[in-house]
Structure 1
Amino acid sequence: MTHRKRCRPDVTTLELIGGLERIEVALHSYDDRWPDVYQTHRRRIETALAPLRVEIEHIGSTSVPGLAAKPTIDIVVAVEDITAEEDYLDPLLAAGYELRVREPGHRLVRTPARDVHVHLYQQDDPAVAEYLLLRDHLRANAKDRLLYESTKKALISKQWDDMNDYADAKTDVILAIKARARAARGH
């Protein structure tokens, strides 16, 4: 299948399908089944997007052995053109995922049970490399893995009106960890 680079503009605002959702954030000890859940969804995504050239990676805390996490599998999928939703979004919706977020450069689909989140970006989007930088560093660095886990545990006691608020609360620690990861790589 030949793809032409599309020249249409991307969305310019955040669309949160279903509005804000109150959540209970609970950390679980690392579960050895998480990689298998990822592999199952990776195959499901590959099947749905079979004609496309995509990159698929397990990201987030469930991708780091030994790290306590919310039991939500995060997957990043890099597509050729984020604005060509008909190429990837329609097949993912047909495969049983539901659209949750549409924002500039990013789409998020998830399972109806909300236990798998699939983040979609364009292949050249720096966000993909940032996810992998954090994941790979946490896999290799026990001290930062412990810092990240203790930060999440400290935030767990608070009540969150939306998952995005919880994610935003971790930002400073994540930025510091990524800075150390870049320094360790010599960047």
Structure 2
Amino acid sequence: MRKPRRPDVTTVELVGGAEALKLQLHPYDERWAGTYLEHRRRISDAPTVGEIGIQHIGSTSVPGLAAKPIIDIVVTVDDITAEEDYLDALLDAGYELRVREPRHRLVRTPARDVHVHLFEHDDPAVDGYLLLRDHLRTDTEDRSLYENTKRELLSKRWDDMNDYADAKTEVVMAIKARARAARGR
């Protein structure tokens, strides 16, 4: 893995500012997997430079888990600071830049129903997403805990989706700790 060619951003840029959203959980929908595959092809077909990895993450990637109907995808790139290698290609493919922050970029569809999280290949956040996804796919108790936590939090008003995500942190960290212990790491 090559070193970044330039320093990364040091602040969070939220393109368009905070967005108050009314979100609801929907029962698991088998069509979510198909939507992921459509966007996987769209991303794969974008003329990016270098190796990319693409994974379906988040609640819509866990069969049986109720979720906000937003497909989360993680894409890994060689160098997050080399936006010219991937960002224009994704924007040309119809995604919009939403977040630019240290080690992470987020693009999404104009309908806001697909979020594409970009990280470097070896970023620990990617392992965390995959650890949570894989554990929730197999552990019914933690899947139920996570769903109930989301239901409780979504019963409140949130000025921004990031605030909602932050409110889940304690439960997510506890589930990840159990997942690591179950895997012996």
Quick check: TM above 0.5?
A: yes
Q: CA deviation at 1:157?
A: 1.0
Q: 2:116: which partner in 1?
A: 118
Q: 1:68: which partner in 2?
A: 66
Q: 1:16: which partner in 2?
A: 14
Amino acid at match of 1:182: R
**Residues 95 and 107, structure 2, Cα contact 8 Å, conserved in 1:** yes
Question: Structure 1: any 5+ residue segments left out of the alignment?
Answer: none
After the TM superposition, which residues 24-103 of structure 1 pair with which residues of structure 2 at under 5 Å, given as runs? 24-49=22-47, 51-103=49-101
Q: State the distance in 1 between where 2:91 and 2:118 align.
A: 13
C-alpha offsets along residues 94-153 of structure 1, whole Å, 9 cap, x if unaligned?
000000000000000000000000000011100000000000000010010000001011
Percent sequence identity over aligned pairs: 71
Q: CA deviation at 1:7?
A: 2.4
Q: State the distance in 1 between where 2:125 and 2:167 align.
A: 18
Q: State the distance in 1 between where 2:22 and 2:142 align.
A: 25
Q: CA deviation at 1:4?
A: 6.4
Amino acid at match of 2:163: D
1:147 aligns with 2:172: no
Q: What is the aligned length?
A: 185
Amino acid at match of 2:162: N
Q: CA deviation at 1:52?
A: 2.7
Q: State the distance in 1 between where 2:154 and 2:108 align.
A: 22
Q: 2:178: which partner in 1?
A: 180
C-alpha offsets along residues 8-58 of structure 1, whole Å, 9 cap, x if unaligned?
100110000000000001000000100000000000000004553111000
Amino acid at match of 2:97: L
Q: State the distance in 1 between where 2:69 and 2:4 align.
A: 37
Q: State the distance in 2 between where 1:79 and 1:50 align.
A: 9
Question: Structure 2: any 5+ residue segments left out of the alignment?
Answer: none
Instruction: Describe the SS at the equivalent of 1:21.
Output: coil
Which has the higher mean CA deviation after the structures are superposed, 48-57 or 33-42? 48-57
Q: State the distance in 1 between where 2:33 and 2:126 align.
A: 19
Q: CA deviation at 1:156?
A: 1.4
Q: State the distance in 1 between where 2:107 and 2:30 align.
A: 24
Amino acid at match of 1:167: A
**Residues 150 and 168, structure 2, Cα contact 8 Å, conserved in 1:** yes
Q: State the distance in 2 between where 1:147 and 1:95 align.
A: 37
Amino acid at match of 2:109: T
